[in-house]
Structure 1
Amino acid sequence: MGLPTLEFSDSFLDSPDFRERLKCHEIELERTNKFIKELIKDGNTLITALKNLSAAVQKFSQSLQEFQFECIGDAETDDEVNIAQSFKEFSQLLNTVEEERRRLIQNADDVLITPLEKFRKEQIGAAKEGKKKFDKETEKYYSTLERHLNLSSKKKESYLQEADTQIDKERQLFYDASLEYVFKIQEVQEKKKFEFVEPLLAFLQGLFTFYHEGYELAHELEPYKQQLQFNLQNTRNNFVSTKQEVEKLMKRIRSADQDYKPPGQWTMEGFLYIQEKRPLGCTWTRHYCTYDKGGKTFTMSNTENKSAGKQVLKSCIRRKTDSIDKRFCFDVEVAERHGVMTLQALSESNRRLWLEAMDGKEPVRNSACFSLKYSLCSGCRLARLFLVFVSQEKKDNNTRTEIFITGINTMGLYRIGGVNSKVQKLMTTECFFSDDQNYRVCAVHALVHKLPEKNKEMLELLIKHLVTVSTQSQFNLMTVSNLGVIFGPTLMRSQEETVAAMMNIKFQNIVVEILIENFDKVSLCLAMYSCEAEHSHELSFPQGAHFSNVYPSVEPGWLQATYEGKTGLIPENYVVFL
């Protein structure tokens, strides 16, 4: 299981779960930092102590053998797998050279030590500075928030407005520090995959070429080095494209309202202050609360992450300002608890979100007036929108024909995106991580032929054009990999704009690469000979038959395919891909 994804929207909620996931990244970052320092120390020992060269190389090799990459997400691309495996490959090469006991190190400081120091100081150092700022702003914000929430509602309005303005500023500073820290710490985790490995690759290349045996090993290493450089470049390209999307998402989240409700499994969640009665008065304790509107379940967890369990909501009513010496309060009643609980939201707009989620009601005195006002306002807005739409429709008969007659029942008439769960399932399906390239091609082939005919025709035109472009890559530099980076996010963009979805852009790029590289195969399958089925799970077909949805079968020598609406097995040596 890799490192958990950190969503920018979680910075607004600042939940205990978010803090735990952030801690996982901090632990991994510190582990990486310690490893770099140790690697630099080992490299210097290797340079300065030739008489202890054998022991130093052995320790250095062992360090590489033991280190494990941790990537964000649950799945890895082939490039990432090869990059992660590269340390073990390097370790084996070092052991081979150590057996010959001949070593020579030149320019190791420039190609190994300096880049690692630079990465540690500039990247990891920047992340640590971001943590200091984040911790400082966290402490400052919550302490200021508690003082703010303790302000009496009987204070002068001007004083309260000034206090509200001040807490808004502190909240924004806290959000900015949190967003920047989340962005930086994930950026370092991603960049280490190539900025970490490249110095080691250069160091090994220099080490081997200065000895005859080393030169021979370097010669044997050449194909692997080229493949690894290709993997590194692909990973770098994927990083650049993903970083741009993530930065755009961060900016959109930053510009959103402070009480923006991000998509999640709960109808509403966030911190609330709970009034707890004591013999000598009452106290207000901060809890992280969640509410599921479907099941009407309400949960509370305090700062020590102790949950009070799920409770069924019975009612929710806004607390009148003159009935309590606190602002932003509302009362809830749950089935599992006798009496009413008084809760305090973080702001007036935050209280409105909770009331909306819980179907909250106004105090009895004002409820009828409020409902009527709301209904009238909503009705006016709806009427205005309808009039604008109808008046536009009357001007254009073609619009009326297409929208009101032909497409009125079409799902997603104005907007439909890829369902995130289905995109995730496609990206993580087994066919994209099997060592068998033919299996991947067959799987993509089957998916392509499940597309509607018009979509399939458009895809064929696009991929055919991209094949033509890639054949001129020596001039236009548009390699298959570069084209995948460009068109992957465009063709397979997820409906949800989250960091987790954007981290899967690299898999979307791979699918486009497969389509381009295997354009001649991702088409119909043709029968070279006729065949008569001998069993019910086999297909009968004439010579020249065309098959779709072709997959490798678990039975050797057979394929699973669809012909004339029936799916079954066909002999592999009877057919060819068009």
Structure 2
Amino acid sequence: MKMTVDFEECLKDSPRFRAALEEVEGDVTELELKLDKLVKLCIAMIDTGKAFCAANNQFMNGIRDLAQYSSKDVLVENSLMKFSETLQEMANYHTFFSANKLDIKKFKDAKKQFEKVSEEKENALVKNAQVQRNKQHEVEEATNILTATRKCFRHIALDYVLQMNVLQSKRRSEILKSMLSFMYAHLTFFHQGYDLFSELGPYMKDLGAQLDRLAVDAAKEKRDMEQKHSTIQQKDFSSDDTKLEYNVDAANGIVMEGYLFKRASNAFKTWNRRWFSIQNNQLVYQKKFKDNPTVVVEDLRLCTVKHCEDIERRFCFEVVSPTKSCMLQADSEKLRQAWIKAVQTSIATAYREKGDESEKQEKKCFPSAGSLEPGSECKEKLLKGESALQRVQCIAGNASCCDCGLADPRWASINLGITLCIECSGIHRSLGVHFSKVRSLTLDTWEPELLKLMCELGNDVINRIYEAKVEKMGVKKPQPSSQRQEKEAYIRAKYVERKFVARHLALVSLPEDGASAVPQHQEEKRHSSSERSPQTDKHVRSNDSGIQQSADDSREHLAATISANSLYEPEGEKQEASVLCSSKQLDPGLQLYRAAYKKNLPDMAEALAHGAEVNWVNIAENKSTPLIQAVLGGSLVTCEFLLQNGANVNHRDVKGRGPLHHATVLGHTGQVCLFLKRGANQHATDEEGKDPLSIAVEAANADIVTLLRLARMNEEMRESEGLYGQPGDEIYQDIFRDFSQMASNNPEKLNRFQQSDSQKS
């Protein structure tokens, strides 16, 4: 090691040594100043680097925020996220250089000690020189002090020189070590950045190509928009009326929307312009797009709309419900007429749709024989809130279209109880509602009774009836890929002409008026026997045994009649007649009649397929109809099925009692609710002069009394409203909805009056 200050010269304390000390001390002082300056610059650089990193992180957060905002544009989102991740990874490799200060503390301490002992040695030398020769005691003392001081000086001076030489040697390595560390940090940072961007290069190249295509597309879109802009500018705007049309089948559920002035209900009767819309069978408005819509009419079935010509403002009309009215003003007469028509059409649509809602939810709690699931599982699914589509499609055969076999059908025929694809549903609509009533499984709302009806039947059950002879006749059933004409011809043959239904010989021809198939002498015999029997004068609920006995007698007579009629039939039909005779096959009307009481929907569907009249009258049993039998059987879904297939809700038996009377007598609240909704005449009186309300009052059935009184009140309200009046206020609607749901899902709660009556008796 090269020595800056020689140790030998140190012992001599020569002028050369002192000069070397001054030179080294000055160099160390200057080095210290340089290092202090460098440390300050390093600190400033570190602070700037931290600010850069913070700004860089903020920039990357901004990129990520923009990427999340652009989530609808996959290209922009993916690109920005990829760039942000690369920049973040680069930032993770950013390290800061820290300039280390050279450790000169030992040097400074040694210098202080050296200066102190140098001064002491100088004082000792002066004192030793000044002592007088004759003062021996002082001479010895001065000599001893000088010797001790010199010894200490040499020791301290050697340490000082050592620290000086070490410092001079060490500063080279420390400075170079710090600089090398700094350079390596930069090398790592930039090398990592190079690697990251090299990996990102192909992606950036592909993105550049996509941007070129996007620029071309943007230029094309710009030209198209400019052309559209020019076309619109050329239109005639002389008429300022907004072109508004209503559409009850709109995909978004909004029948009509637009601006109207609404008169406030405050004392000042101020008019405010609001955005109105008809949606979900409601009339609503909002001030701003983000505001929650304010409901004007909760249910359009409970309101009416009419012109208003008795106020000063023009183009006004009023929407009136049982609890409130809303005065509205359009911008022109044309718009006023459009809004009035839209409201009236929506009211009619709401009645049609709501009449079919309550059927579905009930079906899965009472599955048919063709159902894949037991009743407990269905009730469980009902509680879980499955959609109408899920509930109906799990019935046997319903997972594919009933007519062409296309998977996942989304439409249904509610009077047939089958599921259909969209093309077949269109063909069914063209047949007319007397053959098929089509509803959407996803767009329309479904009532519990209608859901139960769908689950009682299903594609397998109906196809066993309507396609019984398809294979025998060699007819090819359409496939999903078949032409529409082929499907339409097959569907008409199947449901309108009923070509594929198994031959069902009518045992007795029906009179034109739809009366009973029982001959006159048999009818007279029944009347005489009924007159002799006191049972026929009892309550209608006592008819069960009489119904069965009468049906058995009719069956025996009808079977015997075949032989008498066989002379007028072809040979082939004679053979079939003998088979039917042996099996005692029922007339379709009588089959429908009996199946209605037994709650057997598949048998009822079969009877209708064989030509049974839905309003068939059994003269032998007080001119009762299948609908009355369904009431006596106590089944809500059976009543719904008959009504969907055209049953007359107001047909009355010989005692003047219709389905509503019988349901009231028996305390079947759900059926009463259903018949009232389907337009049953609540004022009709029986032979004793009693209407349903008086019967309910006598039976002390509070639920039915409430329903009948509400229905009567709303009927009077409708009559007072005039031509456009519609029955029902909010309370009326809520109560009927509650009873409908309870009748379908918790019928035992509505049997409490019957139970109390039976306990009393």
Name the structure where strand makes up a greater proportion of residues: 1
TM-score (norm 2): 0.23
* Rg comparison, structure with higher value: 2
Q: Answer 1 or 2: higher relative contact order, Cα 8 Å, separation at least 6.
A: 1
